[in-house]
Amino acid sequence: MARDYRGAEVFSPGTRPLPFWLWLFAALAISGFVGLIYYLDQYEKAKSGVQNEVSTPVTPPQTQGKQETESKDKGTDFSFYKLLPKISVDVPKSGTEERKQPAATDDKQPATPALSYVLQVGSFKNFDEADRLKARLAFLGIEVHIEKVTLNTSDVWHRVRIGPLQSEREMNKIRGQLRSQQIEPIVLKVKA
């Protein structure tokens, strides 16, 4: 069968047109390179501007009025030069001696109340479930008790609790053991 090759593109053997994605990648790479050059140029300009400001010599006090008017023209205000000499801090003469003395405590006001911690491990309607959890924790060496609580004069819940624990360190140790068993307790702070 005969074919008409009049409108067809002619490629020499071994050469094919480049795919669209390759052209797109090349355009993105070129624009990224141009953007990088622009960024570096702006960075150098900003860096050199900062260096020029830092390297300017400090003017003596007699020309300070002229500097203030120039700085206002530039839009910056160096008012801290005026504020710093006026600010003073009183330091006690024997600061180290005062720190060594313990603070006087009044017998009328009690010291910070001691806290103890209680960890609530679970709360169950069924006593058997609470007892199972208590037995599981007993195998870990953790002492647990179950509290029976009545809510709304009819609902009875069984809370599985650990404590009271006297120190935060002890509480965190037990929390770590519980977390290793995939049990997330609720921490309750109780005044001792």
pLDDT digits (tens, 9 = 90+) for 80-134: 677 767 676 666 666 555 555 555 555 555 555 577 888 888 888 888 888 888 8
pLDDT at res. 37 = 93
Q: Do residues 181 and 139 make contact, with C-beta atoms less than 8 angstroms apart?
A: no
Highest averaged pLDDT of the listed ranges 1-5, 82-86, 91-95, 149-153:
149-153
In a domain, 80, yes or no: no
pLDDT number for residue 184: 82
Whole-structure pTM value:
0.40
pLDDT of residue 32: 95
Whole-angstrom CA distances from 123 to 83, 89, 136, 160 are 62, 57, 15, 6
Whether 77 is in a domain gets the answer no
- Residue 160 forms part of a structural domain: yes
Specify the pLDDT at position 25. 94
Residue 131 belongs to a domain: yes
Residue 136 pLDDT grade (very low, low, confident, very high; cuts 50, 70, 90): confident
Write the pLDDT tens digit of every residue in 43-56.
888 877 654 444 44
Distance CA 23, CA 169 (A): 64
Instruction: Name the residue among 190, 188, 191 with its Cα closest to residue 121.
Output: 188
| The predicted structure's pLDDT at residue 75 | 62
Stretch 67-84: mean pLDDT: 62
User: Is residue 147 situated within a structural domain?
Assistant: yes
Domain range enclosing 123: 115-191
- At 119, which CATH number? 3.30.70.1070
Does residue 122 form part of some domain? yes
Checking if the pLDDT of 27 tops 90, the result is yes
Q: Indicate whether 155 belongs to any domain.
A: yes
Higher pLDDT, residue 169 or 114 = 169
Residue 151 is inside which H or E element, if any?
Answer: strand 145-151
Evaluate whether residue 128 is within a structural domain.
Answer: yes
Q: What is the pLDDT of residue 55?
A: 46
pLDDT-based confidence at residue 64 (cuts at 50, 70, 90): low
Query: Alpha carbon 181 to chain centroid distance?
Result: 28
In terms of average pLDDT, the best of 9-13, 20-24, 122-126, 152-156 is: 20-24
Contacts 24+ apart (CB under 8 A), 45-53: none
Q: Domain count for the chain, please give it.
A: 1
The pLDDT of residue 26 is 94
